[in-house]
């Protein structure tokens, strides 16, 4: 009887190993986004159409912003060059189909990480580059100081976003009525709000601040104090290519870790030469083989920091000018939520 049990256990184990081998073989034959990026010589990254602080062309037509820098960091990791990115602006309705179809390698577009999006759309979020929340904006001359005063209001809102659901939930919870004005195009919805077609405009608070910062008279508009949702924004990729997922995730964490360790674009070369801190040595590729474990050069993080900067530098360059304080987007040891897992 013992011999029979042993034979059964052996057959079961063989079946498990066979299944694992088959799964590995299938995985090896799956999508290889990194190879495609290297073959074409550029990363294709989906960004917002017009979002100051996150993705907006400057006077020379070059994209600038936090999401833009998130894409550039990935390009550095894979191609060694922050300029090797093709930015593809898209609407909130277009973004997921474009990523799913392979038109984009990754999406960094003020996109909220939710369970539904990750489980039903075939996407995986690689991290959080900005902690946000949904708010409301009104014209100053409306003399509205709280969202609780918006009962019966018309509210401008974009379709295909978590914003629609949050808006309905907020008004229903507070037993208030509203009339949505649903417009997909970001310029059209902002024009509708400024022209008085809607009493209020709702979006992520960062997007509202971005919009206000680009107006001729920013003080004509007021951000109401209520934040009605959690909106963790971050880069998304297609599920199934986990090597590319790892690179996108750890490129962001490398920038957060660099700020934690006091490594900046200005001192990264010196830190690589002189620091005896084991965490610094591992991050900058002076010890260990962490880069090669992802199919990258061991100085991948050093190059990201040299060319793009640490997370704090990205924030200061892109978000501070539109008037959003660090707050929850500070490091964990500075009262915020950003925290990099150990890079070792």
| pLDDT tens track for 120-133 | 999 999 999 999 99
- Over residues 209-233, mean pLDDT: 94
Give CA–CA dist 209/215, Å, rounded.
10
pLDDT of residue 25: 37
Q: Which residue has the tokens 């057959």?
A: 11
pLDDT of residue 234: 98
Indicate if the pLDDT at residue 323 is higher than 70.
Answer: yes
pLDDT band at 161 (very low <50, low <70, confident <90, very high): confident
Q: Which two tokens stand for residue 192?
A: 């509708």
pLDDT of residue 30: 67
CB atoms within 10 A of CB 223: 15
Query: Do residues 76 and 120 lie in contact, with contact meaning Cβ atoms separated by under 8 Å?
Result: no
Q: Calculate what percentage of the chain has a pLDDT beyond 70.
A: 91
- Over residues 290-310, mean pLDDT: 97
Give the orientation angle of helix 242-260 with respect to helix 66-79, to 10 degrees: 110
Indicate if the pLDDT at residue 181 is higher than 60.
Answer: yes
Of the given ranges (8-22, 182-196, 252-266, 309-323), which has the lowest mean pLDDT?
Answer: 8-22
Of 269, 302, 270, nearest to 283 (Cα)? 302
Residues 6+ apart with CB under 8 A from 52: 65, 210, 211, 213, 214, 322
pLDDT of residue 241: 97
Indicate if the pLDDT at residue 251 is higher than 50.
Answer: yes
Of 248, 249, 247, 271, nearest to 259 (Cα)? 271
3-state secondary structure of 309: coil
Of 162, 176, 168, 103, nearest to 133 (Cα)? 162
Give CA–CA dist 139/137, Å, rounded.
7
Give CA–CA dist 279/259, Å, rounded.
12
3-state secondary structure of 298: coil
Burial annotation 93-102 (CB, 10 A radius, 16+ → b, else e):
ebbbebbeee
Give CA–CA dist 81/342, Å, rounded.
25
Q: Which residue has the tokens 């936090």?
A: 66
Note the pLDDT tens digit of each residue in 11-49. 344 433 333 333 333 344 568 999 999 999 999 999 999
Element at 56 (helix H, strand E): strand 56-57
pLDDT band at 50 (very low <50, low <70, confident <90, very high): confident
Of 102, 62, 52, nearest to 86 (Cα)? 62
Indicate if the pLDDT at residue 329 is higher than 70.
Answer: yes
Indicate if the pLDDT at residue 7 is higher than 70.
Answer: no
Of the given ranges (2-6, 54-58, 167-171, 209-213), which has the lowest mean pLDDT?
Answer: 2-6
Give CA–CA dist 88/36, Å, rounded.
17
- Over residues 49-55, mean pLDDT: 93
Note the pLDDT tens digit of each residue in 266-293. 999 999 999 999 999 999 999 999 999 9
């Amino acid at each position: 009887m013992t011999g029979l049990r042993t034979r059964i256990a052996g057959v079961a184990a063989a079946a498990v190993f066979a299944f694992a081998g088959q799964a590995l073989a299938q995985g090896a034959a799956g999508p290889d986004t990194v190879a495609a990026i290297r073959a074409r010589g550029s990363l294709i990254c989906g960004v917002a159409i017009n979002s100051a602080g996150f993705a907006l062309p400057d006077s020379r037509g070059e994209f600038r912003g936090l999401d833009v820098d998130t894409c550039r960091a990935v390009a550095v990791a894979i191609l060694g060059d922050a300029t090797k990115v093709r930015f593809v602006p898209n609407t909130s309705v277009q973004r997921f189909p474009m990523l799913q179809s392979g038109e984009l390698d990754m999406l960094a577009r003020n996109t909220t990480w939710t369970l539904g999006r990750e489980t039903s759309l075939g996407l995986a979020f690689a991290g959080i580059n900005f902690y946000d929340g949904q708010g409301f904006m009104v014209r100053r001359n409306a003399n509205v100081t709280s969202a609780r005063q918006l009962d019966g209001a018309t509210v401008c809102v974009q379709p295909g976003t978590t914003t629609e659901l949050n808006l309905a939930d907020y008004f229903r919870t507070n037993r208030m009525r509203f009339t949505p004005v649903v417009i997909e195009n970001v310029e059209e919805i902002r024009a509708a709000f400024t022209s008085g077609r809607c009493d209020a405009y709702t979006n992520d608070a960062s997007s509202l601040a971005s919009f206000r910062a680009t107006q001729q008279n920013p003080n004509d508009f007021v951000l109401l104090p209520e934040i009605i949702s959690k909106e963790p924004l971050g880069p998304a990729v297609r599920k199934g290519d986990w090597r590319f997922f790892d690179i996108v995730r750890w490129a962001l964490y490398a920038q957060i870790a660099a700020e934690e360790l006091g490594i900046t674009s200005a001192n990264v070369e010196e830190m690589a030469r002189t620091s005896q801190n084991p965490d610094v040595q591992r991050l900058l590729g002076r010890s260990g083989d962490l880069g090669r474990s992802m199919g990258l050069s061991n100085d991948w993080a050093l190059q990201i920091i040299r060319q793009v900067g640490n997370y704090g530098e990205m924030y200061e360059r892109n978000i501070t000018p539109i008037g959003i304080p660090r707050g929850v987007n500070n490091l964990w040891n500075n009262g915020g939520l950003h925290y990099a897992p150990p890079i070792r």
